[in-house]
Amino acid sequence: MKKILFLTYLLFFLFQEIFAQQIPNGSMETWSGGEPDSWNTTNMNIIGLDFTTVTKDLSSPQQGTASAKLTVVTKTIPFVGTVTMQGALTLGVLTIDPFLQTATLSGGYPFTGMPQKLTGYFKYQPVNNDTCVLGWGLTKWHNGVQDTIGYSAIDTMGTFNTWTHFEIPLEYQLWESPDTMNILFLNSNPLDGLDHTGTKMWIDNLSFVYGTVGIEGVTFAKDLSLYAERDAKQLVLSSTFAKQETLDISLFSMAGLEVSRWKRSMKLSTEHLDINNLPPGTYVIRISSGNRLIDTRKITILQ
């Protein structure tokens, strides 16, 4: 028989330790098909000519055995002319028109964590006063529209011949858990009209930092109690709200993945949440009403 133990922690601790979902292949160690696993690049073939703008560099990684090297490549295509391709690295889908020099970025990586900042290391060797962009963001789908939870980016110029640490804090626009994360590194400015062929940028050892952002505007619920029904595989919510509240309830694994979700309308009422399908382990339940976080608790299910 499973028994359920509840432990309540400060939200600062919870977001540091429990929602610590990290970046896929942030070390740039694993590659396949000429690209780092989980990442998309501007490597492409245009009318028979290969534009290889992102490569695996084994010569001097910041950590491990490899880093990602981004290079601006220019080639002449017969009957078309000169085409320049910037080096780009993203977790989303990058659609490029090399002739019109336009690009669109969409999608991203499934993600429910709420990090404070993106950190990593880069080197940069610009040609002709080139500049690079490092950015990341979190989004969430609402009724077919992808809302921005937060986005931050930095423009960098100058030469960095040695590995240089960077930090990009996220500016949250909405206080709620996302469902998609994206990161973009662009090694050149294609809009200034200058020739930047040969500009190089290296990326390695990426990670998220989880910190005090999780405590903003949050108080523990005084009108909602959460407990386990004795010898049953159910959670019980009991509320004494002054007005009707529509609650969004999510249960996350320790990796930050949502494993169960419920919606309940409550005032002076009691609701039961079935967790019969969950294996033993530690989870986090998150209860919100609109953009207001009501309560977050750590739950351990024992065999």
Domain end residue (candidates: 188, 209, 230): 209
* 146 vs 41: CA distance, rounded Å: 23
Cβ(206)–Cβ(183) below 8 Å: yes
Of the three residues 175, 209, 243, the one that is the final residue of a domain is 209
List pLDDT tens digits, range 247-303.
999 988 877 788 999 999 999 999 988 888 888 877 888 888 888 888 877 777 765
Residues 74 and 195 occupy one common structural domain: yes
198 and 234 belong to one structural domain: no
Q: 182 and 238, same structural domain?
A: no
Same domain, 36 and 69: yes
* 105-133 core/surface letters (b: 16 or more CB in 10 A; e: else): beebbebbbbbbbbbbbbbbebeeebbbb
- Domain containing 143 equals 21-209
154 forms bridges with which residues in the sheet?
A: 134
Q: Is 32 exposed, middle or buried (0-12, 13-18, 19+ CB in 10 A)?
A: exposed
The pLDDT of residue 299 is: 75
The answer on 202 and 229 residing in a single domain is: no
Are 189 and 241 in a shared domain?
no
Q: Are residues 101 and 137 in the same domain?
A: yes
In a shared domain, residues 31 and 146 = yes
Per cent of the chain over pLDDT 70 is 84
- Domain-terminating residue out of 209, 237, 262: 209
pLDDT of residue 187: 95
Count of structural domains, the chain: 2
Q: Give me the residue label for tokens 């040695």.
A: 162
**Residue 99 is part of a domain; what is its CATH number?**
2.60.120.890
Residue 116 pLDDT > 90, yes or no?
Answer: no
Q: Say whether both 10 and 30 belong to one domain.
A: no
